[in-house]
Structure 1
């Protein structure tokens, strides 16, 4: 039976994914607990105003994880990584945090741990934050913890970052112009995970690619052009430019080889989550206006600078 009095703990609740899961769970009438480093931060207080319980803790302190997990039914974990430059973390830090979460969940008797990894997690790609997530996945599979691994596609919100060239009036991304890649809105990660956490019918021990739409670079540029009324061309990151940045070069190679396209079952996901956003719907939900504000009044010469991109 689905008991909404059972508590769900969200790790990373002041970040994009965790915040989306916490809000979606609270909106569904769930009891939600959020692990936060600073209860006074604006992000934490915004959660508290939704009736979400704040508990102080840190991934660096395993005992705080166990305290936060005491008596909870499910845990959602989105971990900071080396790709989040503001945290100053290494790939080894991320792995250590992931293992600590798995260990704490097992000791606390958590009945469902939902871990957010990434589409394409694999050590062979040659990128540390893809390998670190893969190592955490392997650990969870050996741990005995009841788990689901979700692998989100690239966020649609990435296009709001100026690194992708919109301030120069051109959309730059890793795929070829006609290469179809899956994407997901951050809010939909929240909706999917919030539904998975308490679902007694969901099979445990599975890994799911999750996405909301599949588009080529040209498709994305055309949709942005329609929604903003501004002509936005698409430019794949040039190989010679990416070669100046080893991380970019490996990402471009992985994308070119189809390793990051995503294999989410979109029809099944849409059947289970009717509100899943297409890219056009995401634009119509206010993001087209955000993108319009990024576009220059007059389009600059189309070009690419590798120092503008931080994967």
Structure 2
């Protein structure tokens, strides 16, 4: 029975931890999805973390014997290389696959650090003969916009290009849509209101629950040859601003929290990043309409890979209202928005 050791970069984040949990729940008796692999592969997940003694790392370690934790800092190349070397020296062989979800530096932050981290892990995966790498990037519509100097996704675009440039490296790039979690907390209320006043009535916002990215990623890792060399838009729903509010009301049983439209108009006028988010969503919507590929087709494709992908209504129903994200998780504050900064 073959063993696939998977290194998870970003293991304590929502995407990475969801990948680890999905792998930990996988049992050898489950039928193998990949016809090109040995029957019934086993997975062992190595959760890369700067702090193996942290509560989040210990929680992952407690998931089962097929999960281990390795100390490594993406800002310290030697520490990450050591993880690859240590696994290579073991009798069962080195790291077979890598799942990469890099920490979000914050809106308006210098992308240099994220780019360096993405390039480092890609280079090491190639050097150590990793069989498949999955990189979680961002959904942005037509790649023709990638070279726009105004693009807010420059780090992920550069990392994608680096991944694609590596000869002999099999890869899949996931392009997650707008996180449903962006509607959590007070900043989430502002987000809804800015989109409500900023988007055209028929513009569809593509949505994904962050945990579903990791779960879909594990499904891809189980069938790598079926998805090799593909860039996959990852979404569980696509809704207009009004449909978004209606879906939330059905799921949560109450109206979606928001701030007054007057405040949203003010923020949109004063803050270029708020305007940029609205414009980016409009661009993606226009690109999808022009491509002839419907949002429904994209959702169906994701469900073919991971059938339990959540709709926004289902996410709202399941969401624990007492466990909202800590304010400032994405580098955004109300004071910063009002000053035109993030």
Name the SS for the 2:284 alignment partner. coil
Is the CA contact (8 Å cut-off) linking 1:152 and 1:210 kept in structure 2? yes
- Per the alignment, residue 36 of structure 1 pairs with 49
Partner of 1:192: 216
Match of 1:278 among 311, 319, 331: 311
SS in structure 1 at match of 2:178: coil
State the SS of the aligned residue for 1:32: strand
Which one of 218, 227, 244 corresponds to residue 242 of structure 2? 218
Equivalenced residues, count: 293
- Structure 1 pair 93–186 and aligned structure 2 pair: CA distance change class (3 A): same
Of 134, 159, 166, which aligns to 1:143?
Answer: 166
Report deviation, 1:161. 3.2
Q: Give ranges in structure 1 of 5+ residues lacking alignment.
A: 295-303
Q: How far did residue 281 of structure 1 move?
A: 1.6
- Which stretch of the first structure deviates more once superposed, 68-77 or 221-230? 221-230
C-alpha contact 1:221 1:233 (8 A) present in aligned 2: no
Match of 2:337 in 1: 306
Deviation for aligned residue 1:132: 0.8
Identify if the C-alpha distance between structure 1 residues 237 and 16 changes in structure 2 by more than 3 Å, giving closer, same or farther: farther
The C-alpha deviation readout for 1:229-273, integer Å capped at 9, x for no partner, is 433487598565323222222222222333698767211222332
Q: In the aligned structure 2, how far is the partner of 1:310 from the partner of 1:11?
A: 30
SS of the residue 1:258 aligns to:
helix
The separation in 1 between residues aligned to 2:107 and 2:284, in whole angstroms, is: 24
Question: Is 2:131 the partner of 1:116?
Answer: no
Give the match's secondary structure for 1:53.
strand
Alpha-carbon distance between aligned partners in 1 of 2:287 and 2:212, rounded to the nearest angstrom: 18
Q: SS in structure 1 opposite 2:301?
A: helix
DSSP-derived class of the 1:187 partner:
helix
Matches within 5 A, 1:243-258: 243-258=269-284
**Cα 1:125–1:17, aligned 2, differ >3 Å: closer, same or farther?**
farther
The residue aligned with 1:183 is 207
The correspondence for 2:299, drawn from 263, 266, 275, is 266
CA distance in 2 between partners of 1:265 and 1:227 (Å): 22
Match of 1:131 in 2: 154
Q: Secondary structure at the match of 1:76?
A: strand
Task: Report Cα offsets for 1:149-177 as digits up to 9, x if no partner.
Answer: 1000111121113202279xx75436334
Q: CA RMSD in A?
A: 3.3
Which is worse superposed, 235-244 or 130-139? 235-244
Q: Is the 8 A contact 2:251 2:315 kept in 1?
A: no
TM-score, with length taken from structure 1: 0.82
Q: Which range moved further: 241-250 or 251-260? A: 251-260
Q: Is the 8 A contact 2:208 2:236 kept in 1?
A: yes
- The question of 1:72 aligning with 2:117 is answered no
Q: Is residue 27 from structure 1 mapped to residue 25 from structure 2 by the alignment?
A: yes
**Higher mean C-alpha displacement, 249-258 vs 211-220:** 249-258
Identify if the C-alpha distance between structure 1 residues 15 and 40 changes in structure 2 by more than 3 Å, giving closer, same or farther: same
Deviates more, 1:177-186 or 1:98-107: 177-186
Tell me the distance in 1 between the aligned counterparts of 2:257 and 2:54: 39
With over 3 angstroms needed to count, the CA separation of the structure-2 counterparts of 1:249 and 1:172, relative to structure 1, is: closer
C-alpha spacing 1:136/1:291, structure 2 compared with 1 (3 Å): same
2:7 aligns to what SS in structure 1? strand
Q: 1:23 to 1:142 in 2, by over 3 A?
A: same
Q: 2:291 matched to which residue of 1?
A: none
Counterpart for residue 299 of structure 1: none
Does residue 204 of structure 1 match 2:204? Answer: no
Query: Structure 2 length normalisation: TM-score?
Result: 0.75
